[in-house]
Amino acid sequence: MLTPIFLALIFCSSCLSSRNKLEKLPGLYFHLYSDHYTGFLNVTDDERLFYWFMESQNTPSVDPLIFWFNGGPGCSSLTSLITELGPMLLDKTGENLKRNEYSWNRMASVVFLESPTGVGFSYTETGEYPIPTDDFLTAKLNYDAVKLFFKEFPEYRNHDVFISGESYGGIYVPMLVDEILNGQKDFPINLKGMLIGNGLLDKKLAQQTRTIMSYGRGFITESIFENHLVKCCNGSITCKDTKIDILDCSDLPLPEEWDDTFYDRYNLYRKCVDLDCGVYPHTIPESFFNSKRVRRTLQIPHDKRWRDCDDLAYDRNLESVKDQILRAAKNGVRSLIYFGDADLMCNFIMGQKFVAKLGLKKLSPKKPWFFKQHHFSGTQTIYENLKFVTIHGASHSAPETHPAECYHILQQFLKDQDI
Ligand SMILES: *[C@@H]1O[C@H](CO)[C@@H](O)[C@H](O)[C@H]1NC(C)=O
Ligand SMILES: *[C@@H]1O[C@H](CO)[C@@H](O)[C@H](O)[C@H]1NC(C)=O
């Protein structure tokens, strides 16, 4: 039986709390099998970051805790929640939700954070946007949000923690890990690893390898390929010893007459209908998250339109996350760097070159892996405290096109076992 004092404590903590327990959701007609909470983290006097926290469907009291970040910069983590990783995914109508049997919260509790300020439902009290920011300021902001999350959910403080994300999350994730490691004395977190899907790891390498990938996939001509090698890689296919920062390689290496609505640069093998491939294919979440019923359920206190990706005043001032990944590995933080290999924007060749140049001890050379012994599913290379995995045929958002494979990869990574 609870004593009156204990009851008062519970009452008091819930009335100070920013937790909003989700009891229902428009379009949802099945059980979620775990508790979901949404709310805002007051990272500064003015800035409010939206989070959606879903407890594990397995054993939330002991399962790991994963923080997830979408990229952009400016893209919302809720897009992945509702199209890739969550227990309910939007169907084609954008109104109804269907069950995802490969939801990541079947084995871990997951926090989806909308960061930095101005992304998605995250907002400022003064209503001023955008707030000028950059890679370093965002890392500090994300770290503050993680600490505030633990204040809100202290029962998770000792859980194994994994920081994860995709795309520009390739910058956010290692930088946040670095902040956590630097702050361990003042604010210990049981950090075990980081997970990066189709991450931007090195900005120069990303540009250089796009040319190689476009050529290899049959998109560009011999002469365009040769011109770009000269221009961007000083004539060498390995792109070594170049000073790309003084050369302009920012445009995709495509012939003028090519319209990029012909193909999907985030998913090269996708069949495009009605020339819809030029846009990042995530307009459906916008109609869902802007519906009045959904916003009321999530208790959004403002009218700012939810967008898949918001425009930010963002200075992309970190060139490469090499130092952060190496420091993490030295501190025993495991990294899983995976790439859907049909993505041109953050392509696996960048990842492979990036990882090979880190100088970590190689424990197992590049080998194919076979999902459920069926067919070639990609490759894996194992280094000390770092695994590099490709997923054959998967897109920029690999868990969306290859959910079972990604679920398997995550499961093995959390258990620290090979795939
Ligand atoms: C966060 O800010 C909101 C107002 O924007 C306020 O209602 C809430 O109490 C604050 N939460 C905390 C924990 O300070
Ligand atoms: C290009 O490569 C040549 C050697 O082949 C080297 O001498 C030169 O410095 C390189 N230029 C740049 C800009 O890296």
**Which residue, by CA, sits nearest to atom 10 of ligand 1?**
42
**Which residue, by CA, sits nearest to atom 2 of ligand 1?**
42
pLDDT at 277: 66
Highest average pLDDT, of 245-254, 271-280, 407-416, comes from 407-416
Where is average pLDDT lowest: 152-161, 237-246, 304-313, 407-416?
237-246
Amino acid at 292: K
Average pLDDT over residues 101-124: 97
At 60-71, the pLDDT tens digits run 999 999 999 999
Atom of ligand 1 nearest to the CA of 152: 13
Q: Bigger pLDDT: 6 or 284? A: 284
Query: Contact 96/27 with Cβ under 8 angstroms?
Result: yes
pLDDT at 15: 44
Whose tokens are 């007051």? That residue is 42
- What is the 18 CA–ligand 1 centroid distance (Å)? 7
Within 10 angstroms of residue 60's Cβ, the number of other Cβ atoms is 18
| 234 in contact with ligand 1, CB cutoff 6 A | no
**Which residue, by CA, sits nearest to atom 5 of ligand 1?**
125
Atom of ligand 2 nearest to the CA of 242: 14
At 210-263, the pLDDT tens digits run 888 888 888 778 888 888 777 777 777 776 655 544 445 655 445 444 555 677
**Which residue, by CA, sits nearest to atom 14 of ligand 2?**
242
| 241 in contact with ligand 2, CB cutoff 6 A | yes
Distance CA 11, CA 289 (A): 31
| 17 in contact with ligand 2, CB cutoff 6 A | no
Atom of ligand 2 nearest to the CA of 247: 13
pLDDT at 94: 82
pLDDT at 162: 98
Question: Going from the N-terminus, what domains does the chain have, and what CATH number goes with each?
Answer: 15-202+314-414 (3.40.50.1820)
pLDDT at 1 over 70: no
At 351-394, the pLDDT tens digits run 999 999 999 999 999 999 999 877 899 999 999 999 999 999 99
**Which residue, by CA, sits nearest to atom 5 of ligand 2?**
234
- What is the 46 CA–ligand 1 centroid distance (Å)? 10
Paired tokens of 147: 């600490």
Pocket test for ligand 2, best of 236, 239, 241 (most atoms within 8 A of CB): 241
| 17 in contact with ligand 1, CB cutoff 6 A | no
Q: Kindly identify the ligand whose nearest atom is closest to the C-alpha of 229.
A: 2
pLDDT at 274: 61
Mean pLDDT of the chain: 88
| 242 in contact with ligand 2, CB cutoff 6 A | yes
At 155-171, the pLDDT tens digits run 999 999 999 999 999 99
Q: Write the CB contacts of 206 (distance below 8 Å, at least 6 apart in sequence).
A: 200, 345, 346, 347, 350
| % residues pLDDT > 70 (the chain) | 88
Distance CA 344, CA 268 (A): 7
| 42 in contact with ligand 1, CB cutoff 6 A | yes
- Which positions are catalytic? 167, 343, 396
pLDDT at 3 over 80: no
Q: Bigger pLDDT: 227 or 98? A: 98
| 48 in contact with ligand 1, CB cutoff 6 A | yes
Query: Contact 232/249 with Cβ under 8 angstroms?
Result: yes
Distance CA 272, CA 266 (A): 12
Query: Contact 341/390 with Cβ under 8 angstroms?
Result: yes
| Confidence (pTM) | 0.91
| 49 in contact with ligand 1, CB cutoff 6 A | no
Query: Contact 394/402 with Cβ under 8 angstroms?
Result: yes
| 70 in contact with ligand 2, CB cutoff 6 A | no
Collapsing DSSP to helix, strand or coil, 317 comes out as: coil
- What is the 223 CA–ligand 2 centroid distance (Å)? 20
Pocket test for ligand 1, best of 12, 40, 42, 125 (most atoms within 8 A of CB): 42
pLDDT at 235: 74
pLDDT at 196 over 60: yes
Q: Where are the beta strands (DSSP E) in 244-361?
A: 314-315, 334-340
pLDDT at 95: 85
Average pLDDT over residues 89-102: 91
